[in-house]
Structure 1
Amino acid sequence: MFLGKISSDNNKILLNVLDSNRCDGIDGLIRNLYPQDNGHHRLFSTQRESSFIMLDLLFFLLSDLGFCSLNEISQCWKTLEFIKYLLKSKLITFIVDVCKYHHAEISHYAAQVLSTPTVTTERYYIDKLCHRHLQDGIKTEVGSGWLLYGSFYYVSMQFNVTLKLTDYVMSRSSPDMVPIGCHRYDDRHISYYRNHVNSTMTLHDKMRMAVVNMVKYVQNSSLIPKELQQEVKGQFISISPSVMSHCLRFLCYHHIDEIINRQQALRDLYSTVKGNTLITTNTLSNSIAILGVCFEIADDKNTAYQCYGEALQCDSLICATAEARRSNLLTC
């Protein structure tokens, strides 16, 4: 739409965009963000369909706002209270749905930064709070919230519950679903979204039908499997829901000593990573590194070493622990 600094030479560009938004509302803004010649408009039967889909995709593109900086529970609660305050105002339906989405997202983080209980009474209170935040967190798309719930049961050693939750997520997922935070949505994403939603649905319902989000573990998350705790020391990590589903299944079968199922889960994880299924550019390196962790657990050190090396060669965000994990293999 507009790149660079505003100056007397180019301010007419920005003024035209703002004027189109003032005169034509959201349709005018969308026309500037998605010019007619980009080819996407041929996928829509009406201008109304074009408007609501492009508005939704714009939200999905911009909604990954980095709330992982909320590393303290007090920050999470303060933000949640502010969103609740906004929801009491007279807002248009779309803005209400956006607020509800962010309320669920921040609930994901709140569940992960609760303090570790030291006595039984504290454990009951903390677990109750964690469940409440996790239940609020599943009120978005089908993937990330449920997988964080699965992680909660995994660290609680309730492996069969985790397996059931991953089954549910995988049964509701499709490789063509719209990933939140994707750098660019192509015709495949738009076609899938158009075929599964309509303008009368709420944003919440549309997301449950056609959208997936990355699973985000905050710094020092209490919900991440212990096998991946190194990945959240000093930073957060974002993981594809398809990768996290198969990773959790592999880890569960490893702990309950079901060797055949563990091998199948590892093959499924390998196929998912190599097939780039629901993996965004920014999560590819993490996905390959997690595959390496699972191969290392399965005592296949050579393949694990190769995975860590591949993770370091990705073009976008590089997994922060891939180099250290590869070096550790050399000293074993």
Structure 2
Amino acid sequence: MVELLRNVGMETCKPLSTPMSTTAPVTSNDSKPFDDPTAYRSLVGSLMYLLITRPDLSYAVNRLCQFMHSPTEEHWVTLKRVMRHIQGTRELGLRFTPTTTPVLHTFSDSDWAGCSVDRKSTGGYAVFLGPNLVSWASRKQRTVARSSTEAEYKALADAATEVTWVQSLLRELGLHPPTVPVLWCDNLGATYLCSNPVFHARTKHVEVDYHFVRDKVTTVQMKVNFVSTHDQLADVFTKPLPTQLKVYCFDSIHGNKELTDIKNIIDKIFSNSYCRPAVTVYSSWSTRIYAKLTQQIYQPLNLTSGCSQGSIFCL
């Protein structure tokens, strides 16, 4: 990161607490074209490698990549803001704690019609193995969603596909999760759609392949539960966040929370009066996962290399 800042002459720049503004969206407006698009593309390409250990920058880099063909002065200013955020968080990285209990839980989210250019939604997910983030993604959806439920359901389908792959890889490594993976979604319509066929008459416009999630739920290979928006850790992959929410999500995905904090998050999800599971789950799931995790003596591990595709399994 130091070398990256030095290459653009920003090693002494003033740091910022967030990589993107929450009030000024990045658009392809009539701003003056940037006079050196090659420098823009080179810097954004370098940031893509930085995502290996900085998943919190996924949304910002994903957004900037959408203007590689014709960057403007506004896009360059936004890129420099990301660099200023990196200046203030140079010590931030992924921390892993060893565990013998491979419990999978995934947070899935979508920012419905968040792109002001084409009104496509941005979906994201974060896959945790125990308390450790092992796979993540932030990508714009290929089609325009006609409702927030459809956008969230598409994001759930992407998350379910990733979880299926992670499960398969864990089995090959001889690790068998003791419980069914749980997908957390903050849209009630999407969670009910996974298990309630009554809703399907209203959602025939949803592509058939996104019913992949419902098949997984029906065959009890996965569970989809509701989580409040405040506890949605995948928010950081779908939209710019204010400082307070940014710190909450960043500490969670970077492994900076203690095991007791993780248990408190899970307990809060189950105790929240607005969080009603759409599918039956174990009533003591939060207590059991915490007990399993604390059976081992944990020592922090620092990840220094990884995969640019947002998964530590490529190491």
TM-score normalized with structure 1 length: 0.28
| Richer in strand (by share) | 2
Q: Which has the higher contact order (CA 8 A, sep 6+)?
A: 2
Q: Which has the higher helix share?
A: 1
TM-score, normalised relative to structure 2: 0.29
